[in-house]
Amino acid sequence: MNEKILNEVKSSFEQRFGVEPIVIKAPGRINLIGEHTDYNNGFVLPAAVDQAIYLAVAKSGSSESTLVSLDMDQTYEFSINDFQPTKEKPWANYLMGVVAEIQKSGREVSGFNIVFSGDVPQGSGMSSSAALECGTCFALNELFELSIPKVEMVKMSQKAEHNYSGVMCGIMDQFASMMGSADHALLLDCESLEYRHFPIELTDHIIVLCNSNVSHNLADSEYNIRRKQCEEGVSLLQKYFPGVKSLRDVSLEQLNAHQSELSDVVYKRCKYVIEENERVMSMTKAMEAGEIDSLGEILTIAQEGMRSEYEISCPEIDFMADFANNREDVVGARMMGGGFGGCTINLVNKGSEDQFISELSAAYKEQFNKEITPIKVVISDGVKRI
């Protein structure tokens, strides 16, 4: 827990509003494997991490609400009875979107004040937006005693991003932030929302994230285009296989049988998703069996799929992943997150992580004149009240 940020959020709230707030910690997440499978109703293997958004919240006593982002050094005010998405301060949409979804459910909230800050790097692929949405939903649920079940809060947080921020994200990020468990990964079926916690036991290895500090904005990137391309493939395959509702239901054999009817781009997108689902299941089996080399191989193959088939990588990430995958002290590495920047996730021999970080940093600086930011991974619990 980041006590410094926690204390800053709480004291800033008290100084500004003069009352004692409730305080919520909402974690970011890593994803071991399963990128862009969630909106295709597939499987993912994320885990909540200690980097988090901290939120202090209390009732305002009126219909007016004030949102304060310490990191942005910005404030946004709105009436609980009349609000809509804003282009002026887009970060406020994540919070207002949650309020809108709570209201749609028939539950009532009055005005509130909220101050937040965090140490989840923005644009890093660690889902700072999902942490903010889930933290806001959890905070309002506590504040107004709404008794919203956790899975429903996950769905509300996802819809907030769809309807107020314009990103048609899957449900993985919000689910991991809300439902994470310390020292465990979360195998999630994004169709049924059935989930199972897997112990993360790496023994002689450690997970190291390296932030490229190349940030992306999913709403402005090709994220939504990828989703439409997948839907185009499903639409064609449904003509031949009526039981197909998403790429989750498609086998590689079925896809290959109708490859000639798909554009090259749509075929590559579909192929990647089908194989990525298979990689998720392979990784859970390798984790259970303690087969570390298999984990590394899966990461390495996934990286090539994101680069050449789903085409969501970038030169900086490719350089970092290739650098790692050519080292004997790294079992495997790949890009993590929505794409076009962010972090690589690296499975490194324990004890050699400092040397790996140092040498990658130097090579990256020489190649791009940019710094990487290494991030220590501690697998944590999901959203909670402090």
Output the pLDDT for position 217: 60
Output the pLDDT for position 218: 53
User: Per residue, what are the HEC states of the chain?
Assistant: CCHHHHHHHHHHHHHHHCCCCEEEEEEEEEECCCCCCHHHCCEECEEEEEEEEEEEEEECCCCEEEEEECCCCEEEEEECCECCCCCCCCHHHHHHHHHHHHHHCCCCCCCEEEEEEECCCCCCCCCHHHHHHHHHHHHHHHHCCCCCCHHHHHHHHHHHHHHHHCCCCCCHHHHHHHHCECCEEEEEECCCCCEEEEECCCCCEEEEEEECCCCCCCCCCCHHHHHHHHHHHHHHHHCCCCCCCCHHHCCHHHHHHCHHHCCHHHHHHHHHHHHHHHHHHHHHHHHHHCCHHHHHHHHHHHHHHHHHCCCCCCHHHHHHHHHHHCCCCEEEEEEECCCCCCEEEEEEECCCHHHHHHHHHHHHHHHHCCCCEEEECCECCCCEEC
Contact 76, 218 (CB under 8 A): no
Structural domain spans, the chain: 3-199, 205-376
Which class is 205-376 in CATH?
A: alpha beta
Q: What is the pLDDT of residues 124-149, one digit of tens each?
A: 667 789 999 999 999 999 999 999 99
Please give the helix or strand (H or E) that residue 348 lies within, else none. Answer: strand 343-349
- What does pTM read for this prediction? 0.89
Average pLDDT of the segment spanning 255-259: 97
Alpha-carbon span 301 to 129, nearest angstrom = 28
Output the pLDDT for position 376: 81
**Model confidence at 29: pLDDT above 70:** yes
Q: Which of residues 262 and 289 earns the better pLDDT score?
A: 262
Q: Determine which one of 82, 173, 249, 329 is catalytic.
A: 173
Average pLDDT, the chain: 94
264 flagged as catalytic: no
**Model confidence at 304: pLDDT above 50:** yes
Q: What is the pLDDT of residues 151-163, one digit of tens each?
A: 999 999 999 999 9
Output the pLDDT for position 77: 97
Q: Domain 3-199: give its CATH code.
A: 3.30.230.10
Average pLDDT of the segment spanning 167-186: 90
By percentage, how much of the chain surpasses pLDDT 70? 98
Q: What is the pLDDT of residues 265-286, one digit of tens each?
A: 999 999 999 999 999 999 999 9
Average pLDDT of the segment spanning 14-26: 97
Output the pLDDT for position 203: 83
By percentage, how much of the chain surpasses pLDDT 90? 85
**Model confidence at 84: pLDDT above 50:** yes
Average pLDDT of the segment spanning 334-349: 90
Output the pLDDT for position 219: 43
Q: What is the pLDDT of residues 194-250, one digit of tens each?
A: 999 988 888 899 999 999 998 766 545 677 899 999 999 999 999 999 999 999 999
